[in-house]
């Protein structure tokens, strides 16, 4: 890969897929438009999203060498079981990622220690400092931009610190667990409530910028546009006075799915004006959703898997789901949200669940029924008012990527700050 001349300030971005890469893509596009030389290591599932956005990401296959026979052997062995051809861009990348990471784990802990750590933690045991040092040697960055993850993203922050290179970390929605350490020089957080938790974990207040999350900026863009929800509801047989509940499923059936369906089974006979739209997870089997519809009653529940999620969220009155970004998107639109999960752990993420009455949290059928029993069909003005307040609290104004890019430029101008304890 041809690297640009050294006169341009070079940004190295390191990120995994899912919400991580989607957060960074708008920032990277803006930084590139501003004239910075942007190089990206798109790890595992991130590469496809980056290519779709017009970037040419680096991967671990760009770091593996002919003499890395031990890494090749480990990678081939592990990829036999762990390569996901529909998600990772190539088998070669999986072999390089798994092999280099495992060989580095052996370098850190010895063969026995690596085997034990991997058996207990799987890929979460990786902290591939050696491969990431090769990445820095290849790119020669002036600043690092990454998100929160306990593997290569954390390794990139540590290598940047080793080399005196300033680092900027962007916190995703569920990035405040203790194992998701993000000791970057500067950290961008989605909402103010996250700052005190990070300060308690060792970051200094001056290291933190409340930026919002670029992954939610589509909601700001949607507000004020044409409202097509009435037509959508009409086409699906939902009456104007019906309360339409969107049920967002997980990829696999588990006790949380069963809890939600049991709750709806008991509640719906007492709610004749409720309708349930069942949305299977993109990585799930639609048969699971069909089974739910049969249990709830086809006259009450119907399947929806092809409508864009933004349209389905806009059309519904309320959402019932698990711990996921979909719940936040619904809240930002002003919808009523019921969350069902194994524990009441949202406060550990700093997520302002309590603000503006947008959500409830349940861990049992009786608790969920009590929460859902409080749902009423709301006037559009009430929904719009609550959504506006939640968007303000979460800095969802279409400018999140601008604020993060400004922090990157500041890091380039001021250098390493040692804000992490």
Q: Is the pLDDT of residue 163 over 70?
A: yes
The predicted-structure confidence for 232-241, as pLDDT tens digits, reads as follows: 899 899 999 9
* Residue found under tokens 């390493």: 416
The mean pLDDT of 112-124, rounded to a whole number, is: 95
Specify the range with the lowest mean pLDDT, choosing from 15-29, 166-180, 268-282, 321-335.
Answer: 166-180
Question: DSSP strand E in 241-314: where?
Answer: 243-248, 274-279, 301-303
Does residue 232 or residue 198 have the better pLDDT?
232
What is the pTM for the complete model shown? 0.85
Q: Among candidates 117, 116, 146, 111, which has minimal Cα distance to 132?
A: 146
Specify the range with the lowest mean pLDDT, choosing from 74-78, 327-331, 403-407.
Answer: 327-331
Q: Is the pLDDT of residue 421 over 50?
A: no
Predicted confidence band of residue 2 (pLDDT cuts 50, 70, 90): very low
The predicted-structure confidence for 284-299, as pLDDT tens digits, reads as follows: 778 899 999 999 999 9
Predicted confidence band of residue 4 (pLDDT cuts 50, 70, 90): very low
Burial readout 317-343 (b: 16 or more C-beta within 10 A, e: otherwise):
bbbbbbbbbbbbbbbbbbbbbbbbbee
Q: Is the pLDDT of residue 343 over 70?
A: no
The mean pLDDT of 363-387, rounded to a whole number, is: 90
Q: How far is CA 20 from CA 60, 73, 170, 246, in A?
A: 18, 30, 9, 25
Q: Is the pLDDT of residue 171 over 80?
A: yes
Q: Is the pLDDT of residue 403 over 90?
A: yes
Q: Among candidates 325, 268, 330, which has minimal Cα distance to 293?
A: 268
The pLDDT score that the predictor gives to residue 344 is 58
The pLDDT score that the predictor gives to residue 394 is 85
Domains defined for the chain, CATH in brackets:
10-213+398-414 (3.40.50.2000), 219-393 (3.40.50.2000)
Predicted confidence band of residue 1 (pLDDT cuts 50, 70, 90): very low
Q: Is the pLDDT of residue 362 over 90?
A: no
User: Which DSSP state fits 234?
Assistant: H
CB under 8 Å, gap of 24 or more: what pairs does 227-234 form? Answer: 227/314, 228/311, 228/314, 228/315, 229/311, 229/314, 229/315, 232/307, 232/311, 232/312, 232/314, 232/315, 233/315
Q: Chain-wide mean pLDDT for the chain? A: 88
């Amino acid at each position: 890969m041809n690297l640009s001349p050294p006169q341009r300030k070079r940004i190295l971005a390191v990120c995994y897929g899912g919400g991580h890469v989607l957060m960074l893509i708008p920032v990277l596009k803006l930084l590139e438009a501003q004239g910075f030389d942007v190089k990206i290591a798109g790890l595992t599932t991130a590469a496809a999203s980056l290519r779709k956005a017009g970037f040419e990401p680096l991967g671990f296959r760009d770091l593996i060498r002919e003499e890395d026979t031990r890494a090749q052997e480990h990678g081939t062995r592990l990829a036999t079981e762990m390569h996901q051809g529909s998600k990772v861009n190539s088998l070669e990348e999986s072999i390089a990622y798994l092999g280099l990471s495992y060989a580095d784990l052996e370098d850190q802990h010895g063969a026995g220690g690596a085997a034990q750590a991997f058996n207990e933690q799987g890929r979460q045991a990786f902290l591939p400092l050696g491969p990431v040092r090769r990445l820095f040697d290849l790119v020669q960055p002036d600043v690092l931009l990454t998100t929160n993850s306990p593997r290569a993203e954390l390794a990139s922050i540590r290598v940047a610190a080793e080399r005196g290179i300033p680092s900027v970390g962007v916190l995703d929605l569920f990035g405040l667990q203790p194992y998701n350490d993000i000791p970057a020089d500067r950290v961008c957080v989605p909402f103010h409530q996250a700052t005190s938790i990070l300060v308690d974990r060792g970051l200094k207040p001056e290291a933190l910028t409340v930026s919002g999350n670029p992954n939610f900026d589509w909601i700001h863009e949607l507000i004020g546009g044409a409202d097509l929800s009435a037509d959508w509801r009409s086409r699906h047989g939902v009456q104007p006075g019906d309360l339409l509940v969107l049920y967002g499923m997980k990829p696999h059936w588990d006790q949380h799915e069963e809890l939600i369906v049991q709750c709806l089974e008991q509640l719906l006979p007492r709610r004749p004006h409720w309708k349930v739209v069942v949305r299977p997870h993109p990585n799930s089997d639609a048969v699971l959703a069909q089974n739910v519809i049969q249990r709830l009653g086809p006259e009450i529940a119907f399947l929806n898997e092809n409508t864009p999620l933004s349209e389905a969220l806009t059309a519904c009155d309320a959402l019932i789901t698990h711990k996921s970004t979909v719940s936040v998107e619904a809240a930002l639109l002003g919808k009523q949200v019921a969350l069902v999960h194994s524990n009441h752990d949202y406060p550990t993420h700093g997520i302002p669940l309590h603000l503006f009455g947008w959500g409830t949290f349940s861990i049992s059928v009786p608790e969920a029924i009590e929460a859902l029993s409080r749902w009423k069909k709301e006037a559009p003005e009430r929904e719009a008012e609550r959504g506006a307040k939640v968007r303000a609290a979460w800095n969802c104004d279409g400018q999140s990527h601008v604020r993060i890019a400004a922090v990157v430029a500041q890091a380039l101008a001021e250098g390493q700050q040692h804000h992490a304890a």
